[in-house]
Structure 1
């Protein structure tokens, strides 16, 4: 019996081996429940590229970069946000993962002759590579995304920033052409797959040309002739190069709010502890000028302080009591400690101390503090989704402020005052307070005064929740004139991200060459060249921002 079983087993093994030896191994490696890259429809890839990019922009512009440009500050888990304590190991892996998905989207669209998807993929490629070089400096570009190709070099060279920006501008030109047809000329659009514009090629073309304006202004200090010619060409040919000229064409992504992965990051719906919401406060650097100009957006973004403070010299020594919702303190209780007694809004100063949760006499300092004496963000930021809770990738306000700056330089970009005022109006429209525009634009400090400081100042305010652009503007212009706080890691704002250790170790020659091209500053000497305070090519020799 044992011999019979052995013979049958051997025969079965041989039969199975023969059966499978007749098939190509690639056939056996197909997941019957998956979609293969070689056959995937681009419309299945598109939503992932768009949603993950949208989340990446919010994770920067509402999180640590909002701290850098002093839109917000945190009073718990604050060191990266307030003090630029970034640890020297900031990874770009997630961005290159996005680019690999986007490259598959593009390649499959080319194979299937789907021009709309090709154009969208080129816009997204430009946006993501633009973000990488803006954040780090030189980066893999020409030879990037080829690690899985046969014989490919897995240690790609780093392209210089001039090459990357030139490539971005060329891709955006190509995208604008691909997206220039009426919607009826495309046969492959799936509206639900496009979470930005619902499959509208005209709006995508506007985004392509608006991004060109962004990157042309980005390089304006280093390549002014290129920037001037490029911007003037777009402005002079609006039919060929339409732009995002009103808020209805803003590039945004709404949050679905079904789970923690697709909800607004500070929501208290899925974060039951409320920690993500509770620790974010509006920075006083932003709050005070908005108060001074009666800015209607302030009430949309922040709550009034829950319990105002009042220092009353007529009170007996040692007084500290709450009466009718106001906390009264005698002067001896305050002493020399800075205090903000504004009865409406109180912001958290930038990098105010090693214990920011204790600011303004908070009775419960610490990581789980609840500070009733500093303004929280508006309650809309506790929600998982909402009409104003969007990733904001590019806006009409940004475009108008770019053109106002170009006009101020004397370039043929329209009238600077008209463009500036249109930028202010577009931002108010975005936040649902357009009716306040006629009064707001006449306020002292808002009424046009012909200065770059005012244009960039209003652009900085308008970039709320998309603070990354404000950082790049600050780096390029030194405006607004922001100062690092008391407890900041350096006495100046940072300029770039650190190259991550894995890249420095695994791609040593190419990464090392990129580091060597960084310019050491007085603020970066203790880090060496790979410092957040070293200057990349974009600001070398410009004298900016400091």
Structure 2
């Protein structure tokens, strides 16, 4: 194994110096590589995959998904004015991914295949998370712990990358099923996700497999609803299995959930945070729920706090900024809710999402009754997770029990059913960048997402009716590897769909 695999640790120590010992909990002595073992690498992999990679991925697109909106009118990321100053790439491939590659190899070297399985899960997750926002990605030329790092890697088409990632998930399931391991998965308490429970790790792999197979929905020759449903049946099958871990309110900013005031995500200054508050689209969706007699979704006061000045739930219109004569205290701010407190988890994927994936797949294969059943469980699982009252859950259950096949096929197609599923999935997946995948797969349809509209003052490169479809590759890769990267101008990249976003 080349020495580069040990370089990532001192790099992380410099980048996260404020609380690195507590954050990483690894042996970072670059002069003693023989001391690095897989049980030293699993915790930083999980933490960095979540708090560095997934966080940066959602930070870039939370306003695109319209969970949040800027307090300033026409602020660049609120109106889709993105450039190559985009660091999801860096956080994923420089910070998080090398730990996955090393864990795969270390598991093999130490006769501990369970660790290889965890590394394989996160290799697939990290590379496809990037690919879902960018498109073509390196795979064979990526650092693997053995070969020298290739500074100008070859990019492979997204279809090929997906095939390799899905095969890697299959291998992860095999490796996590192995019972002969020299080092236990939770040795040193490194498995902060499942505490060594390999069956839950296997279900995590199947959940991701279901998610990625479902991304093929525009590919009539590849989309297989039965394969999606089969993966769902082997994925999370009850509460308490979500792939997540709780952050901490007792440490530094890197210990806290990044969406919280205590975290590092831009909310430490409530007078001028990166985002002014929740968007009008999201707030209004929660205030017009079909699941409650009052019309107000019972999750609203759990997800967010009311405006300080009015006690009401008010969102900011994307691209408009604060209305005249109003301040941030007139809007529902981001920190302090279920997903945005210091000790809140930030899920990779949940049981609720698996049920919504199953509902969509059953709907597409014309199993309407099965779709309604999976949809209902997806909603209720999220409500239970958020601690919604039993009375509100009973009311929502009554509402959903009244749904008929006609409700899911109104107009002669499945659009109405998709609207039920996708709006509730949107509510259940706050901040998760997977929502942007869904919105593009649904072509930002207002029939599916009622009242969704483009931001005001939208970036001038977008013509009427055009929506953002991808992101620009990061500037360092553009400068170093332009020949393999291709045309990275915003007017091209932001408007060009990734492979799974094109119908065939």
Summarize deviations over 1:130-176 as a string: whole Å, max 9, x none: 101101000111111169835x6432210100111101111111111
* Distance (whole Å) between structure 2 residues aligned to residue 431 and residue 55 of structure 1: 21
Q: Show the counterpart of 1:82.
A: 78
Asked if 1 retains the 8 angstrom alpha-carbon contact of 2:142 and 2:153, the reply is yes
Say if 1:508 and 1:72 are closer, same or farther in 2 by CA, change over 3 A.
closer
* Further displaced range: 108-117 or 404-413: 404-413
Structure 2: segments with no counterpart, 5+ residues: 1-6, 8-26, 290-295, 409-416, 447-451
Summarize deviations over 1:421-467 as a string: whole Å, max 9, x none: 0100111122111622221244599956311111111111111121x
Q: 1:478, CA displacement in angstroms?
A: 2.1
Summarize deviations over 1:74-130 as a string: whole Å, max 9, x none: 215972442222223324122112211211111111111112111111111110011
Q: Show the counterpart of 1:3.
A: none
* Distance (whole Å) between structure 2 residues aligned to residue 260 and residue 176 of structure 1: 34
* Distance (whole Å) between structure 2 residues aligned to residue 422 and residue 378 of structure 1: 28
Summarize deviations over 1:483-529 as a string: whole Å, max 9, x none: 212122145432111023332332232112xx49xxxxxxxxx9443
Secondary structure in structure 1 of the residue aligned to 2:217: coil
Q: Show the counterpart of 1:133.
A: 131
* Distance (whole Å) between structure 2 residues aligned to residue 188 and residue 59 of structure 1: 25
Asked if 1 retains the 8 angstrom alpha-carbon contact of 2:355 and 2:377, the reply is yes
Aligned partner of 1:214 among 211, 216, 221: 211
For 1:101-500, list aligned pairs within 5 A: 101-145=99-143, 149-150=147-148, 153-180=150-177, 187-190=184-187, 192-222=189-219, 224-234=221-231, 238=233, 242-257=234-249, 258-269=251-262, 273-275=269-271, 279-293=275-289, 294-308=296-310, 344-352=312-320, 356-357=321-322, 359=323, 361-362=325-326, 370-377=327-334, 379-380=336-337, 385-386=342-343, 389-410=344-365, 415-433=370-388, 435=390, 436-443=392-399, 447=403, 449-450=407-408, 451-466=417-432, 468-479=433-444, 481=446, 482-489=452-459, 490=462, 492-500=466-474
Aligned partner of 2:500 among 529, 532, 538: 538
* Distance (whole Å) between structure 2 residues aligned to residue 60 and residue 395 of structure 1: 19
Q: Show the counterpart of 2:16.
A: none
Q: 1:222, CA displacement in angstroms?
A: 2.0
* Distance (whole Å) between structure 2 residues aligned to residue 472 and residue 350 of structure 1: 19
Asked if 1 retains the 8 angstrom alpha-carbon contact of 2:362 and 2:370, the reply is yes
For 1:37-56, list aligned pairs within 5 A: 37=33, 39-56=35-52
Say if 1:400 and 1:272 are closer, same or farther in 2 by CA, change over 3 A.
closer
Summarize deviations over 1:274-310 as a string: whole Å, max 9, x none: 35769531111111121122211100122223334xx
* Distance (whole Å) between structure 1 residues aligned to residue 351 and residue 456 of structure 2: 36
Say if 1:349 and 1:193 are closer, same or farther in 2 by CA, change over 3 A.
same
Q: 1:404, CA displacement in angstroms?
A: 0.4
Equivalent residue pairs, number:
447
TM-score, structure 1 as length reference: 0.74
Asked if 2 retains the 8 angstrom alpha-carbon contact of 1:305 and 1:374, the reply is yes
Q: Does residue 503 in structure 1 map to residue 477 in structure 2?
A: yes
Q: 1:59, CA displacement in angstroms?
A: 2.3
Say if 1:277 and 1:166 are closer, same or farther in 2 by CA, change over 3 A.
same
If you compute each CA radius of gyration, which structure gives the higher value, 1 or 2?
Answer: 1
Asked if 2 retains the 8 angstrom alpha-carbon contact of 1:71 and 1:282, the reply is yes
Secondary structure in structure 1 of the residue aligned to 2:348: strand
* Further displaced range: 487-496 or 226-235: 226-235
Asked if 2 retains the 8 angstrom alpha-carbon contact of 1:361 and 1:373, the reply is no
Secondary structure in structure 2 of the residue aligned to 1:245: coil
Say if 1:226 and 1:371 are closer, same or farther in 2 by CA, change over 3 A.
closer
* Distance (whole Å) between structure 2 residues aligned to residue 102 and residue 195 of structure 1: 15
Q: 1:179, CA displacement in angstroms?
A: 1.9
* Further displaced range: 121-130 or 174-183: 174-183
Q: 1:377, CA displacement in angstroms?
A: 3.4
Asked if 2 retains the 8 angstrom alpha-carbon contact of 1:267 and 1:381, the reply is no
Cα RMSD (Å) = 3.2
Secondary structure in structure 1 of the residue aligned to 2:347: strand
Secondary structure in structure 1 of the residue aligned to 2:85: coil
Secondary structure in structure 1 of the residue aligned to 2:129: helix
Asked if 2 retains the 8 angstrom alpha-carbon contact of 1:463 and 1:470, the reply is yes
